[in-house]
Every structure is written in C-alpha cells, then in structure tokens.
Amino acid sequence: MSPRFLWLLGLLAGTASPLSAQLTIQGDRNLAFGVVIQGVAASVVPSDPVKSGEFEFTSVIGKTIQIAFTLPPRLNGPTGATMPIAFGATDAIAMGTAPSSIAVTFDPRTAKQFNLVTSARILVFLGGRVTPAANQRTGSYSNTVTMTVTVF
Amino acid sequence: MRIALKVSAVVLATLSLAASAQAQTNSANITATAVVQQPITVTGAVQLGFGNVFPGVAKSVAVTGATAGRFDILGQASAPANLAFTLPSNLTSGANNLPIGTWTGHVNTTNNASTGTNFTPSASLQPFSFSGTGQAFAFVGATVTPASNQVAGTYTGTVTLTVTY
C-alpha cells in the first residue's frame, strides 16, 4: 500500500472517530403510572424519582441539540382496550450532570433546542397523565414513547 | 489514472462523512405503563359494641366476638392492598372520656374472623389480598377500661379504615 493511500486512510479514521462519538442516547426508565383506578385520572410529574420516564444522551459541549418526543395519545390494554394519555407544558425536564447544570422544564409536545454549555451528558425526565374511564377495562396498559435527539 | 480514481473515491467518502455530521440524529424508546383496577369500596358493616360496662371493670371484645367491628371491602379481584386504621384512644360522652386500647384485628377473604390473618390495627399498614371475587373483610376488637369513678353515660368513638392498593 502506498504511503499516500495510508495517509488518506488516516484522514478517514481521524474524521470518523469524533463523528461517531457525537451522540449516544438510551432510555433508562419507563414512565410508570402504577395502579390507577377506574374513573380517576392519575398524573406523574417529571421530577418523580420512581415513576417518571427517563432518557439520557451524551453529545459534545458547545453543540446545539434538539429534543423531540413521539408521544402516544393512548395506552393499549387488554383485548383492544385503550386509555388516553396526555402530556402537558411542564411534563419534561432536561438536566445536565455537571455540578453547575441547571434543570430546564419544557413542553414535550414540541421540539426543544438547547446549547450544551456545562455538560455533555444530559438526563431527560418525562411525566404525563392518564385518564381511565369509569368503565375502563381492568388490566395492564402500555405504549411506546420515543425521544429523538438531533445534534447540529 | 487508476491511482487518481482511487484517491477521488476516498476523498468523496471523506466528504460524505463530513456532510452527514452536520446534523446527527438518534432515538431511544421507553414504555409508558399503567395498571387499571377497580375502585375500592369500604363499608362499616358491624359496629364494635361493648354493651354495658361498669366503673373499674375493663371489658374486651375479641375479633371473633359477636359484637366485634366489621368492615366489608370490595376491590380488584386477587389484587394486593393495604389496611390502615385511625383509632380513637378514648370513647367520649360529652366531656367525659372512656379509655379504649389493646386493639386487635383480623382480615379474611370470607366473612369469617377465625380463618384469616390476625394483625395489629395500630400498626402502620396491614397488607392483604382481595379474594378471587374482589372481597375482603376486616374485623376489629378492643378493650375499654372504665375508671372506678367513670361517669355513667353512652360513650362513642369513630374507627376509620382506609384501604389502598
């Protein structure tokens, strides 16, 4: 292999490595309402340390990122039953893990942009509200919540 | 010429990677979950009754006694739940108090105060499970201790049972 070609491979490797490290993301905890009673709405606040949903992602300080959720309008239950789930203006919190990081509350229904200033690792917490009908079929309900992060 | 083509291909690949780095997107999922259950209803079915008591003579009602207190509970079939009692320390008759204590309890999935589980009502929470048809029964007994100079009268107090999943 010619030295010139090796140099180009080195250039490629040097370019690919930081690109792949710019964004990692994972879901850490389900949004769990637990037992809810027929006819009684139940809420989980994003600051709930047990029931709130939690994601985390790691990017690069100095980058602008956008968080967007794909939120289900209902949870799916036994034999086709569904139960409404809703999200409000203060149902999401993003917080860096640096000591100087400040938690930011935002509306998970609309995409939100942040500049990563103090922390490259961000925790995102999600709350919500379910509204079982008075004759809601009993049993377990669930659906998927997706968080998409874009690094600009 | 052949070398030049190879170099061009590599440079294009490099440029392509650089372009994709302009906006990088990634996603992750969690699950939103809930378990729907029937509401719980609690009914005070039988009053805890001591009948006539006399100054200086303590009197007890056992959970198996005919005048033990009984709560009837309905909820989600086979679901676990917890009992929590609010208990008076005195029965009252106007301004007069009649001490009550030594509370005893029994919970069962059938209306039987002998074949279930004994518990102490003054403890914080008592776990139990509803029957397969969503029933449970809680029985309470206690002891009243009239003073030797206890003022005659009718004394009452309220026992509250709170049941939660």
The CA distance from B76 to the nearest CA of chain A, in Å, is 9
Restricting to A residues 89-108, those with a Cβ less than 8 Å away from any Cβ of B are none
**A38 Cβ partners below 8 Å, 6+ apart?**
A132, A133, A134, A135, A136, A138, B36, B37, B38, B39
Which residues, in sequence order, are bridge partners of residue A64? A115
- Closest Cα in chain B to A140: B35
pLDDT value at residue B2: 52
Looking at beta carbons, which residues of chain B come within 8 Å of A42? 34
Q: What is the mean pLDDT of chain A?
A: 89
pLDDT value at residue A21: 56
Amino acid letter for position B19: A
pLDDT in tens, B5-56: 454 444 444 444 444 457 899 999 999 999 999 999 999 999 999 999 999 9
Report the alpha-carbon distance of residue B30 to residue B16 in Å, rounded: 32
Average pLDDT over residues A83-92: 98
Q: Write the ipTM.
A: 0.86
